[in-house]
Structure 1
């Protein structure tokens, strides 16, 4: 028996706002159905985290932001997040609050048939293509959050790479939250056709006190046979934003998804990054770094579900916790019956810098097939005082010694990130957040 929930938004106003934008009828119907579902579904049940106690009321309302003609119109902190650090505007999309305000795609990608545009624009120009894949990897009826996202999403990214096309330069998106009353729920939809390859990088940032705004985002990646998608995302919003994100990929035969995720927010975080290895020979590699400070709470899950024969997955998560922050780090490897020769490996490690900080590492193996390989490793601990003493005995100040130990802890993950610019950004973000 379902219970009716009072939604944090006015359903009639939501639908009217998107009708005014002249969205296709199928999308209006989907939004309407999702709102009805949201009123009936429960919040997700998270390991050792009572998300129902979080403030999840401030979803804002759709507000069209003014377009910009150049990245030079962005504030300095936003320009610094572009992957080359020099305001490069090629193959770039920028969303401010509810809407996309800047798009630039190179002629080279256009000639190859690559589509890189806002999801809102793709609804108008490629409606049938969007309809095929939208909310096909993350279902709108999974829980209240996914239903609310399906109803409220705006702006967003649509990246489509045709068969046999190799995109050699990264494409990038920047998501900025600046208005406490504007909705901020981007939807990223990536489709890589057979034997194609692409690298996608995005950043989420917030400016000013946004009064408990909820970022309720979804990423869907469709990896066809033999395709490769490199996906990198860094979230660095302040404590006035609650960040809820589902990332999920469907991977076909011999396809590969490479995840790089930096959870660098200062507010509460719920993050779920999942690879569904449907095809034989499919592959997933996920690297996640988290830094918790203050009193923030993080629940970070990385998951690989194996259906295909000879499918492989590797998940590495490292978290550094300071002050009174709490982290629940979950690694889940699920090997389904019939996924023979599958190989799933995972590692979760948490380093605590304060006696008040808390970190739980939960490695989970769910194996329904005999002829497989699976393994896990997990550790939770504080900085070893003997290591600090050893470095200080060599003339290194205590603060610098601690910094070296932190980077030694994170280095095995950061060093394996294939994009040097993402490595550098993660390192600088860690330094900034830890005040080093």
Structure 2
């Protein structure tokens, strides 16, 4: 069934825009093809969430931003998210403002190792073959209307390539900032780790000012080759007028590992889908997700592991705290395919509600097509345990502080896994702000 879709741009405009940005012909053709697809594909069907009722038309238009000469030009809230040197500069950092990259710094040591850390737009020009072989291969442009629109409209973005046997010791960082509702904001992040490589990538999404309605339609694709390890951490903190749509997916080969840490600290509606495809024997995935809902927010958060490889393992922990009249649909999906003998998939989803009007739904799902496997799940939805509050108060702690301690104890399994102390502290700050502590 086709859908009645009002596309945010026409074919001729997108072709001209692609050519003006010196994109290779294959990307121009891909954008145009994806735009046509978007006109016929349906929106994704989410568990217990009518995404078609959300505002999904405010994509904005591409606007090139002036480059920053120094990080001091960033808003204070954005600068606070970065781990910088004393001079206000930092190595191994990309900053995107609205539609385009405005700051790029990479260390000489990283370059000498053969690591490529640049904007995806720049990589198209200088590393086109590498990008073409992986772009929209982990996630298909034709999966639904959102993936097609992203393929057609993406801008800015990150390309991180780590050669075989290279170990990147320090995390690389990216900051995505939006402060103009008329400018498009749909970055694409593409990470490729070759055999036995390792890297840690951390990013923050933040909005500034009184934005009008805007849609962030982003995609993350990660390719983890045999024996490689990728640690991926992302914190989203966008305001109530931004609808945040994020697909993240990793393709994981033999004996390779993907570790996810995701913080959904937005104030607007959120669709978040984080998936590990465990293709190789002995492949591993670990996902830790935290989200906090306030106001009338609607969150649909899915974490998924698909096992193809023998002796592959996956773990998922999701924690959601809901207050006011917010609603959360938390889905954990473990799919073990036929032939994935010895696979082991474990998942836990827990929702803590701080208001009688808040709603939480934890859905653990096991789909098993093989006998010789291990799989387990646990899920709970409830309010703060009054006995825990009473116990803490009996030790001289105020009721407010007791509630705070219980909430942070509930969130600790995820917060403590953030690979950078400053990002961990920032996430803690976001939680405190959203919960009014």
Superposition TM-score tier, normalisation by shorter sequence: over 0.9
Match of 1:207 in 2: 208
Q: Output the CA distance in 2 between the equivalents of 1:335 and 1:175.
A: 35
Residue 83 of structure 1 and its aligned partner are, at CA, apart by 3.5
Gap change, CA 1:218 and 1:268, over 3 Å in 2:
same
Once the two structures are superposed, the pairs formed by residues 92-107 of structure 1 within 5 Å of their partners are 92-107=93-108
- What CA distance in whole angstroms lies between the structure 2 residues aligned with 1:11 and 1:33? 9
Post-superposition offset of 1:392: 2.5
Which residue of the partner structure matches residue 318 of structure 2? 317
Conserved 8 A contact 2:220-2:249? yes
- Rounded to whole Å, the distance in 2 between the matches of 1:390 and 1:94 is 46
Cα displacement (A) at 1:343: 0.3
Equivalent residues in 2 for 1:5-404, closer than 5 Å:
5-83=5-83, 87-404=88-405
How far residue 69 of structure 1 moved from its aligned partner, in angstroms, is 1.1
Tell me, yes or no, if the aligned pair for 2:362 and 2:380 is still in contact at 8 Å. yes
Q: C-alpha displacement at 1:134, in angstroms?
A: 0.3
Post-superposition CA distance 1:28-65 (Å, at most 9, x none): 00000000000000000000000000011100000000
Given that residues 70 and 89 in structure 2 are in contact (C-alpha distance below 8 angstroms), is that contact kept between their aligned partners in structure 1? Answer: no
- Structure 1 residues 10 and 319: alpha-carbon distance in aligned structure 2, compared to 1, 3 A threshold: same
* 1:385 shift after superposition: 2.1
Match of 1:426 in 2: 427
Q: Distance in 2 between matches of 1:161 and 1:53?
A: 41
Deviation at 1:432, TM superposition (A): 1.7
Offset at residue 203 of structure 1 (A): 0.2
Q: For structure 2, which runs of at least 5 residues remain unmatched after alignment?
A: none
C-alpha distance in 2, partners of 1:52/1:14?
A: 25
| 392-401 or 296-305: bigger deviation | 392-401
Cα gap change, 1:262 to 1:29, in 2 (>3 Å): same
SS of 2:41's equivalent in the other structure is coil
Structure 1 residues 85 and 244 mapped into 2: Cα distance closer, same or farther (>3 Å)?
farther
Q: Distance in 1 between matches of 2:107 and 2:123?
A: 17
Aligned equivalents of 1:42, 1:127: Cα separation in 2:
31
Q: Deviations over 1:292-325 (max 9, x none)?
A: 0000000000000000000000000000000000
For 1:212 and 1:343, the matched residues in 2 are separated by 43
Kept after mapping to 2: 8 A contact 1:277/1:284:
yes
- Cα contact 2:34–2:142 (8 A) shared by 1: yes
Alignment partners' CA distance in 2, 1:61 and 1:192: 32
Q: TM-score, normalised by structure 1?
A: 0.98
Measured after TM superposition, the shift of residue 102 of structure 1 is: 0.5
Q: Is the contact made by 1:84 and 1:421 (CA closer than 8 Å) also made in structure 2?
A: no
Q: CA deviation at 1:427?
A: 1.3
Separation in 2, partners of 1:85, 1:10: 44
Contact 2:81–2:423 (8 Å) recurs in 1 = no
State the alpha-carbon separation in 2 of the partners of residues 290 and 256 from structure 1. 24
Which moved further from structure 2: 394-403 or 95-104? 394-403
Mapped partners of 1:422, 1:306: distance in 2? 31
> SS state of the match for residue 66, structure 1?
coil
Q: How far 1:211 sits from its partner (Å)?
A: 1.4
Is the deviation greater in 9-18 or in 254-263?
A: 9-18
The answer to whether the Cα contact below 8 Å between 1:14 and 1:61 also exists between their aligned partners in 2 is no
Distance 1:326 1:83 in 2: 33
SS at match of 1:246: strand
Unaligned runs of 5+ in 1: none
Q: Deviations over 1:211-262 (max 9, x none)?
A: 1200000000000000000000000011010000000000000000000000
Q: For 2:97 and 2:419, locate their aligned partners in 1 and report how far apart those are by CA, in whole Å.
A: 28
**1:400, distance to aligned residue in structure 2 (A):** 1.1
Secondary structure (helix, strand or coil) at the match of 1:432 reads helix
Counterpart residue number, 2:408: 407
Cα distance in 2 for partners of 1:176, 1:30 equals 26
